[in-house]
Amino acid sequence: MQLLVLILSKTALMPGIISRLMQEGYGDPTVISGEGAVSILDSSNIEPPPIFGSLRRFINGTDKHENKLMLLVLPDEKVEAAQELISEEVGGIEKPNTGIMFTLPIGGVRGLFRAVPDGSVR
């Protein structure tokens, strides 16, 4: 089993990603709203470490940069296809300011069953 993690900067694309994942049987992911560390430091009175301070010039201090964090547990054999689906939905995950996607191996998964429209459980 793998935990697929997507941190998406283009948050408006998340509903389409979720819809496609669910339609194609990948399950129903959990989505959490977030904000990048540089954005938080930029809006605070705390002086950031030097590396972050140099990044301030790339950030508009009046706008908070929000992102969405998606978590989805998948069997190993479905990971690559799910990643391709997501990359297709966002127009290429490797494009700048789109996001990042990675997987982590997980074990001991319990409670991964979900109800489907016909009332059965998968």
Decide: 21 and 87 in contact? Cβ < 8 Å.
no
Domain limits for position 11: 2-105
Report yes or no on 55 lying in a domain.
Answer: yes
Mean pLDDT computed over 68-76: 94
| 62 within a domain of the structure (yes/no) | yes
For the segment 25-34, the average pLDDT, to the nearest whole number, is 90
Buried b or exposed e, range 65-85, using 16+ CB within 10 angstroms? bebbbbebbbeeebbeebbeb
Q: If we measure between CA atoms, which residue out of 32, 40, 20 comes closest to residue 88? A: 20
pLDDT band at 120 (very low <50, low <70, confident <90, very high): very low
- At CA 7, angle to CA 61 and CA 30, rounded to 5? 120
Average pLDDT, the chain: 79
Decide if 116 is inside a domain.
no
Reported pTM: 0.72
Query: What pLDDT score does 50 carry?
Result: 61
Q: What CATH number did the domain enclosing 68 receive?
A: 3.30.70.120
pLDDT, average across residues 13-27: 93
Radius of gyration of the chain (CA): 17
> Residue 19 domain-assigned?
yes
Query: For the chain, how many structural domains are there in total?
Result: 1
As a whole number, mean pLDDT of residues 85-112 equals: 90
